[in-house]
Structure 1
Amino acid sequence: MATTPRRRRWDATRNHDQLLESAAGAFAERGLSVDVREIAREAGVGVGTLYRHFPTKDDLLRAVLEPDLAEWADFTAEANGTEDAWQGLCLFVERTLELMAKRRAMLDGLSGAASDSAAFEACHAHLRDALEGLVTRAHRQGTLRRDVSAGDLGLQILALGRIVQLTAAEDPGRWRRHLGFVLDGLRARRGDGTRQHPTR
C-alpha cells in the first residue's frame, strides 16, 4: 500500500521533533563536540534524514537554541525594566550563568568553542548589547564602579562560565559563590573613589 501524503507529512514532523529533542539533550549534556551521527542514532533516524531537516550542524544548533534565546531575551527585558539598575545587572548576570549551566552548548559557544557559528554570533551580539545598556544605567545610578566597562563584565561572565565547567560534576552550584565574589568587587561604594553621582 502506497504511503499517503498525509502519512509522509506526519513522519516528517515526527522525525523533526525527535531530532530536536535528541539534539537538545545531546548539546545540553555533551556540548558542541557531539557528532550529528550520534544525534541521528539517538533520534532513531538516518543521517540523511537529519540533513534533510537540518542541512548543517549550525542549522540544527540554531533550532535547538531558539527557546533558550527566547528565554534569554525575556529575562534581559526583565533586567532592563528594573528600577534599580544594580539589581537588574545582577539578575541578568545570574540568569545568564544559569542558562549556561543548564545548556552546555550555550556555555561552549559563548566561551569561544564555536567562533564560526552564526548561532553564537547572535548570542555574543545579544550579550554585548544587553550589557551596554545595563552598565550604562548602573553607572548613571552610581552603583557600578565607573572603571568597569560592558566588555569587562562580559569577560567576567565568560570566566565564571569556565568555573561552571570545572565544577559541574562535583559541585554544580559552586559558581554562585564565585559570582558573589565578582559582584562584590564590581559594586561601587561610597568613599572608594569609584562612585558616580546619579544624574538628576
Structure 2
Amino acid sequence: MDAPVHLAKVRTVTDRLTHNLRSDALDNRERILDAARALFATEGLHVPMREIARRAGVGPATLYRRFPTKEALATEAFKDQMRACEVIVEEGLADPDPWRGFCLVIERICELHARDRGFTAAFMSTFPHALDFAASRASTLNAAAELARRAKAAGRLRRDFVLDDLILVIMAHTGIHAATPAGRVAASRRFAALAIEAFRASPDASPLPPAGRLSPVPPIPFTT
C-alpha cells in the first residue's frame, strides 16, 4: 500500500473515532444535566452526586470530570433554565400575532415553573453568588415589554396592563401545590388560562386598581 493512501485511511479512522468520542462526551453531558435537573426538582440540591451519575447512566468519574462540584453542576443546570425562559420570550416576540405570542409566553413560562418545582428558588438560595444574570434578565424584560406593547397596539391586551402584572402572575404561580407532578402541571395550565382571560382586552373590562411596585425576588426570571 502506498504511504499516502495508508496515511489517508489512518486519518479517516482517527477523525471518525474523534467525532464519536466527542459525540459520546456531549451525550454524557446532556444525560448528566437531564438527570440533575430531574433530581434537583424532586429531591432538592442535597441529592448525592453518585445518585445523579447513576440516574444519568455514567460512572462517578465521568460526572466529576465534567462537573467537579455540585455547584458547577447546579449552575450549568440553572443556565439552561434561564436560557429556556429567554427562548420562550423570543418565540413569543417572533409570532406575527402579538396576542398569541403574549399568551404563549404566559402558558409556557408557567409550565416551565411547574416542572421546575422549586429548583430555581433552591439554587438561588444555596448559591446566591454563583451567577450574575442581570444582563440576561434585563434583555428578557425588554423583550416581554415590547411584546406587551405590540399586543396593546393590536387591541388585544388591556390598556392598563403593566409589566409588573406579569411578574405578579409568575410570583403567584409559585404558590401552586399538587399531589402529583401531573396535577401540578394541570393546575398550572388552568392558572395560566385564568391569567390570560384577566389580561384580555374587552369593551366591558373593569379598570384595574393602581399597580404597586414589586420588590425584587431573585428566583423569578422577570424581576428587576
Would you call these one fold, judging by a TM-score over 0.5? yes
In 1, Cα distance between equivalents of 2:202 and 2:106: 20
Question: Partners of 2:47 and 2:136 in 1: how far apart?
Answer: 20
Q: What is the correspondence of 1:42-191 to structure 2 with a 5 Å cutoff?
A: 42-43=55-56, 45-46=59-60, 50-64=63-77, 71-104=84-117, 107-109=118-120, 112-115=121-124, 116=128, 117-118=130-131, 124-125=137-138, 127-163=140-176, 166-167=177-178, 169=180, 171-172=183-184, 173-191=186-204
Residue segments in structure 2 that go unaligned for 5+ positions in a row: 1-16, 209-224
Q: CA RMSD in A?
A: 3.8
Identity of aligned residues (%): 33
Is 1:131–1:154's contact at 8 Å kept on the other side of the alignment?
Answer: no
- The CA deviation at 1:16 is 4.5
* Worse-superposed segment, 122-131 or 183-192: 122-131
Cα separation, 1, equivalents of 2:135 and 2:40: 18
TM-score, structure 1 as length reference? 0.66
Indicate how the Cα distance of structure 1 residues 125 and 36 shifts in structure 2: closer, same or farther if over 3 A, else same: farther
Which residue of structure 2 lines up, in the alignment, with residue 3 of structure 1?
Answer: none
**What TM-score does the superposition give when structure 2 sets the normalisation length?**
0.61
1:10-49 pair list within 5 angstroms? 13=25, 16=29, 19-40=32-53, 42-43=55-56, 45-46=59-60
Shift of 1:65: 5.1
Structure 1 residues 66-98: Cα deviation after superposition (integer angstroms, max 9, x where no partner): 665555444433311223322211111101222
Question: CA offset at residue 26 of structure 1?
Answer: 1.3
Q: Secondary structure at 1:114's aligned position in 2? A: helix
Shift of 1:33: 4.8
Unmatched 5+ stretches in structure 1: 1-5, 196-200
* Equivalent residues, number: 182
Secondary structure of 1:167's counterpart equals coil
- Per the alignment, do residues 31 and 96 of structure 1 end up closer, same or farther by CA in structure 2, a change over 3 Å counting? farther
**Which of the two has higher C-alpha Rg?**
2
Amino acid at match of 1:138: A
- Paired with 1:63 and 1:114, the residues of 2 have a C-alpha distance of 11
